[in-house]
């Protein structure tokens, strides 16, 4: 099987998202980068956002080198809500005044024991994983609804529905995003905005590279038998925002190799 990097560097181009604009948060590495590059390969004009300008520009360069259209925009989504609203306005301006697709991918993921999680880390989880998506949807979904078309994908986690002995705040934040997905689907769906969750399993990203052995153990007894690649998640996001998913509202697509629902050993 090809590595994640090999797939991303050889993505075929198509026009299924031609003419559409997309904002992808947390897009400077891992799942977010893969989403930005896959959407761009299918014709979308993408804002690549993150906290590090150089890393965002690296992803933009990878997209434009293959003929895609992308812009780098830094943001601290754990900051005050007014700053997140300003970020939404700046992304809209970069995309010519319209955001057709919002992918709420940015997140922080401390998964240690409850009594070891400091107050600052707890605040960061709630601000980044819950408050920021809420603020962005509040800013960007109403204009989509006014146009009668748009798509929001929230990146969840297999841990949202499985009890594990660590990471209470993180797993609760992902359960929250799944429920917000259902509520937003009911709220904005009748006006043309499709809102769904894509829930990755144990995914090998640069952010957890030092936990590769743990990921291998976690996924050994799954159907896939290996960790998820970021590009696997990106393909599901692309489907969820495409016309092919016109009847997908308020759902959760599990891209987890079966970790949440099956065991083979």
Query: Cβ(168)–Cβ(221) under 8 Å?
Result: no
Q: What's the pLDDT score for residue 215? A: 73
DSSP state of 203: B
Tokens 């146009």 -> residue: 147
CA distance 62 to 87: 23
Q: Are strands 45-50 and 193-200 parallel, antiparallel or unpaired?
A: unpaired
CA distance 218 to 221: 7
Three-state SS at 71? strand
Q: What's the pLDDT score for residue 85? A: 98
User: Does the domain spanning 15-254 belong to CATH 3.30.1490.100?
Assistant: no
Q: What's the pLDDT score for residue 206? A: 79
How many C-beta atoms surround the C-beta of residue 16 within 10 A?
16
CA distance 177 to 175: 6
Q: What's the pLDDT score for residue 209? A: 65
Which residues of the chain fall below pLDDT 50? Answer: none
> Which residues are identified as catalytic?
170
């Amino acid at each position: 099987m090809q590595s994640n990097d090999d797939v991303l560097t050889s993505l075929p181009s198509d026009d299924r998202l031609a003419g559409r604009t997309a904002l992808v948060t947390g897009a400077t590495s891992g799942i977010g980068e893969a989403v930005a590059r896959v959407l761009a390969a299918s014709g979308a004009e993408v804002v690549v956002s993150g906290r590090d300008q150089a890393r965002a520009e690296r992803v933009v360069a990878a997209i434009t080198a293959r003929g895609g259209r992308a812009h780098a925009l830094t943001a601290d989504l754990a900051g005050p809500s007014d700053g997140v609203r300003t970020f939404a306005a700046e992304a809209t301006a970069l995309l010519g005044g319209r955001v057709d697709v919002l992918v709420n991918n940015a997140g922080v993921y401390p998964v240690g024991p409850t009594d070891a999680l400091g107050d600052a880390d707890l605040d960061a989880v709630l601000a980044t994983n819950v408050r920021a998506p809420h603020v962005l949807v509040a800013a960007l979904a109403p204009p989509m609804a006014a146009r009668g078309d748009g798509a929001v994908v929230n990146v969840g986690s297999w841990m949202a529905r499985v009890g594990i002995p660590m990471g209470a705040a993180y797993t609760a934040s992902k359960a929250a995003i799944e429920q917000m997905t259902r509520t937003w689907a009911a709220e904005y769906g009748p006006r043309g905005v499709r809102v769904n969750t894509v829930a990755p399993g144990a995914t090998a990203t640069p952010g957890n590279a030092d936990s590769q052995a743990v990921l291998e153990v976690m996924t050994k007894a799954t159907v896939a038998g290996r960790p998820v690649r970021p590009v696997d998640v990106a393909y599901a996001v692309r489907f969820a925002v495409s016309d092919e998913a016109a009847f997908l509202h308020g759902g959760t697509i599990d891209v987890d190799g079966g970790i949440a629902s099956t065991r083979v050993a």
